[in-house]
Amino acid sequence: MRSIARKRWRRTKVRVLSAIIPATGAVPGIDPERCAEFLTRYRREAPFLPRLALNLSVLVFLLSPPLTGAGLRPALALSPDRLEHHCEGLGRHRLYHLRQVTLMLKTVAGLVWGADPAVRDSLGLAPYAEDPTDWRTE
């Protein structure tokens, strides 16, 4: 049960991050599959507070459409146009801490998007190598 809830919550986070950086004609947006993989890695490798900050930011994003005038429904239940309005409104909100929520989401979305080989290829950049997991021990 806990595992199902966790998977559903991860899918929600993927959808929120995908809304932050959607695809344009020229450049891909967030790839949901890669994003899900990244979130698993984030959960495993990031410290507690950044993980908490991401979860809280997603929660605020979901519940704050009334504050951006996008509607009364949770963000992911909005129409694409209203969701777009919400994304934009939250990032430019007069309340600093709401803008910081968007900054947190943009930071994590950027980590997924900027490391995506398809995105990098579309911008003429070489793909990243794998991050090593070792260090000097001797």
* Binding site residues, other proteins, CB under 8 A: 19-27, 29, 38, 41-42, 44-47, 49-50, 53, 83-84, 87-88, 90-92, 96, 99-100, 102-103, 105-107, 109-111, 113-115, 119-120, 123-125, 128-138
| Nearest-10 Cα torsion for 32, 66, 72, 12 | 20
Give the shortest CB-20-to-other proteins separation in angstroms.
Answer: 5
Give the shortest CB-41-to-other proteins separation in angstroms.
Answer: 8
Give the shortest CB-70-to-other proteins separation in angstroms.
Answer: 11
107-111 long-range contacts (CB < 8 A, ≥24 apart) are: 108/17, 108/42, 108/54, 109/17, 109/20, 109/21, 109/30, 110/21, 111/38, 111/42
Whichever of 8 and 52 has its CB closer to other proteins, that residue is: 52
Give the shortest CB-83-to-other proteins separation in angstroms.
Answer: 8
Nearest to 101 by CA among 54, 37, 137, 38: 54
Whichever of 66 and 127 has its CB closer to other proteins, that residue is: 127
Give the span between the Cα atoms of 32 and 132, in whole angstroms. 24
Nearest to 24 by CA among 99, 82, 103, 84: 84
Integer distance in angstroms from the first to the last C-alpha of the chain?
Answer: 44
Whichever of 11 and 120 has its CB closer to other proteins, that residue is: 120
Whichever of 8 and 69 has its CB closer to other proteins, that residue is: 69
Give the shortest CB-21-to-other proteins separation in angstroms.
Answer: 6
Whichever of 3 and 137 has its CB closer to other proteins, that residue is: 137
